[in-house]
Every structure is written in C-alpha cells, then in structure tokens.
Amino acid sequence: MRNVTSYPVEGKNSLQYWTQAVSPLKAVRNFLVIELCRYLPFLNMKNFLYRLLGMKVGKNVSFGLMAMVDIFFPQLITIGDNSILGYNCTVLCHEFLIREYRTGPVVIGKNVMIGANATILPGVSIGDGAVIGAGAVVTEDVPPNTTVFGVPAKPKN
C-alpha cells in the first residue's frame, strides 16, 4: 500500500478544489521554476532551484531533459545521492480523483536509475540501487537493488 493521505470532497470533482490544497501563487512559482528546470542543461543549477522549492536533492543527482516533478507538492520529494531521473520521467506527489485527492511523499534512494518516460506515483519509496525501466509506472514501493519495468512496474525475473 502506498503512503498517501486522502482528502475527501463533495459535489465537484477534486481537481476543482486545487486552490484549497495549495496556494495559487505558490503553484505559479513552482510551475515557472520547474518548467525552467525541464529545459536547463546545467545539472547543478537544476538541483539548486529544486532545493529552493523544498525538494531534498542529494549530491550529484542528475535530472534528464524534460523530467517533470510535482508542481503542487515538490517539498514531498526526496532524492538520494548520485541518482538519475531520465528523460521526460514524472514524479508525482498528488493525485486528483473524482471524490478525493491524495498526497504522499516520494522517496528515491541513492544510486537509483529512473528510465525515460517512467512515472512515479505518490507515496512510493524506491530503495537504494534500484533501476526503474523506461516507461514504467511505479505504483508501489521498490526494494533496494531491484530492477522493475512495465505497467504497473514489476520486478525483473
């Protein structure tokens, strides 16, 4: 089970209540910084800017071109030293559903490799040395030194 907190809503779908979940000004600031970082080729500058948003980014972390982190809750993301987030991967700390929205921390260990176009869902922990295959959707915790791939991501046999 993922480590998420649920916030029920009534009436409209939960995305209609996003301004109650996060300040619109904070969301705009986060969007501008994250969108800039998606295109920046300078890894140290990306890490610096992400830290300004409250992300916990370890030493020598590398975000590939177009990597996307959560705009509403970047402060819920922790990434260990020497990890790589591949081209166009997505790290989410929230999900809006019809009758509720959920938030959850994402913890990515040290020396983790996340492949291109992979998606990490809220409340997931990825252990040290894990490898996430390209295009995988990570819906549950990944143990250390495990390779997963597919939709949903499952361990390699």
DSSP H or E segment with residue 63: strand 62-63
pTM (two decimals): 0.96
Catalytic residue among 94, 101, 122, 138: 94
User: Is 94 tagged catalytic?
Assistant: yes
What residue spans define the domains of the chain? 5-155
Would you give per-residue pLDDT tens digits along the chain (157 residues)? 689 999 999 999 999 999 999 999 999 999 999 999 999 999 999 999 999 999 999 999 999 999 999 999 999 999 999 999 999 999 999 999 999 999 999 999 999 999 999 999 999 999 999 999 999 999 999 999 999 999 999 998 6
Q: Is 152 helix (H, G, I), strand (E, B) or coil?
A: coil
Superfamily, domain 5-155: Hexapeptide repeat proteins (2.160.10.10)
